[in-house]
Amino acid sequence: MSNKITIDDLTQKLKGPHHKITPQRKIVLEVFIENPGEHLSAEDVHYILRDKGYDIGLATVYRSLELLSDLSILQKNDFGDGCRRYELNTATADAHQHHHLICVSCGKVAEFADDLLDELEDDIMKKSNFKITDHQVTFYGYCSKCQKKK
């Protein structure tokens, strides 16, 4: 059995009384399927689509990304540089998202899947009477290539 996400898997989440599967939304989703693991900005998606010959406006890309994020099809990330980036949301409903490693020199974004914070979450929930449903952790530092340059 394959774990590969298909466009049909994702468009199923768009079906319903409030959302349509527009051609624009479908091609935006295809960009993420064709670029697995990438953290793409709206401008990145727009450039990829224009490079492929699609005539789609940047505002349409922004609206599509926000809707797909609101529907949890995409995960929206803000790494503190003023640029939102998106990636396919592959986590199950009961699992945490992966964490990110950001190189402060070259800007490379890597993923770290191990979740080592379960005990900390339990402690916080007990002490604060706050039900935690998820968390995001971002580590900043230097990737191996940038470390070698120094």
Ligand-binding site membership of 106 (annotated): yes
- What value, to the nearest 5°, has the Cα angle with vertex 11 and ends 7 and 27? 60
What is the chain's Cα-based Rg? 17
Ligand-binding site membership of 83 (annotated): no
Ligand-binding site membership of 143 (annotated): yes
Q: Which of helix, strand or coil describes residue 141?
A: strand
What crossing angle do the helices spanning 42-51 and 23-34 adopt, rounded to 10°?
A: 100
Binding-site members are: 103, 106, 135, 143, 146
Binding-site members for Fe cation are: 135
Binding-site members for Zn(2+) are: 103, 106, 143, 146
